[in-house]
Amino acid sequence: MTQVPAGPDAAARVDALADELRAQGHLSDPRIRDALHAVPRHMFAPDRGWCAPDGPGPRRTIDRVADPGVWWDAVYSDASIVTQAADGAADPAAGVAEATSSLSAPGAVVAFLELLDVRPGDHVLEIGTGTGWTAALLTALGADVTTVEIDPAVAAGAEEALTVAGFEVRVLVGDGSYGVPGSGVFDSVHVTCGVTRIPYAWVQQTRPGGRIVAPWMPEFGEGHKVLLTVTDDGRAIGRLMGTANFMMLRAQRGALRVPDDMAGATETTTRLDPRRVVSDDYGADAAITGTLPDVMAASESGVRRFELVLADVAGTSWARVRRTGGAEHRVLQAGPRRLWEEVADAYLRWVGWGRPERSRFGMALGSDGQVIWRDDPSNVITP
């Protein structure tokens, strides 16, 4: 990574980006605005990468040498910039292979920093170093940061950028699922990669009253920001706080697999529209995944077709639900479980609750695993 000197309008670009984020409802803490100035984003941006805006805007290759104007505009926009693809085996600037590391979009970074509410002197454990930009922002906010990155090359690049930018951060190479064994406790844990299950090691390494913020990416539906507070009895409890979409923690990557061969599948019909089930509301997503944490979903759509694909994590059962133009939709299922019926029942139970929105759902995590609750931690959603 070539370190780029600040352009004559770097401070103005930071202010313009900060104003944009504030207009979106982020950046309520003036300390974070100061941190954005103290940690210029361009110092952590790659010379070449794939720019992927969180909102409207073209997805495209950016190249500092070939087109510096486009590069600067992208770096100071609310867009993520892919810095690694296929775990280093593909060109990250091509926008083709799976993105496996990035300079996260400022809006997403700021939203999680505000949830973390870091205080000067806090000891913060960061899971997923990436380019090092977020670790530098945490340091600028007064935290003592230990960050863990599983990819040695990514960690080396981040450590170099942090050193050049003048930030002292402890960068470790390892599987962040385990935290930092033997390092004592932290005041908070900041997670920059998606997780389906919150590792209990993070709870064990956070002092009572400490916060854990993470992009929770369940098997079904959209991802959610989750803010957990650690209790004095070794649990962590909190609410879902908004949408999140991050690259997965490597230890928790998964893929939905359904056989192409439909032999042995049972065919039925349903009056429930599968498109409605997967796109109705974030609250429905929380209710369904809370009831069925091991059911994976994906959808395939075209101009005149929509198909919902379901599979369980164990690989024993699957379902395909194809929307038709009539009153009945086609259902194909195989395996010991009737996954479509399970998902439909969970969705209709949410409807029967009065369609509660996402903010009414939360997570509780202990040594025995994690559960989702509605309205109160004692009201756990069960199958």
Distance CA(308)–CA(115), nearest Å, equals 34
Check: CB of residue 146 under 8 Å from CB of residue 44: no
Check: CB of residue 87 under 8 Å from CB of residue 151: yes
Residues tagged active-site: 104
Residue linked to tokens 């205080």: 119
Which three-class secondary structure state does DSSP give residue 314? coil
Which three-class secondary structure state does DSSP give residue 130? coil
Q: Strand 48-53 relative to strand 60-63: parallel, antiparallel, unpaired?
A: antiparallel
Residue linked to tokens 């810095």: 83
Distance CA(46)–CA(82), nearest Å, equals 9
Angle, helices 133-140/106-116, rounded to nearest 10 degrees: 40
Angle, helices 30-38/106-116, rounded to nearest 10 degrees: 130
Check: CB of residue 381 under 8 Å from CB of residue 291: yes
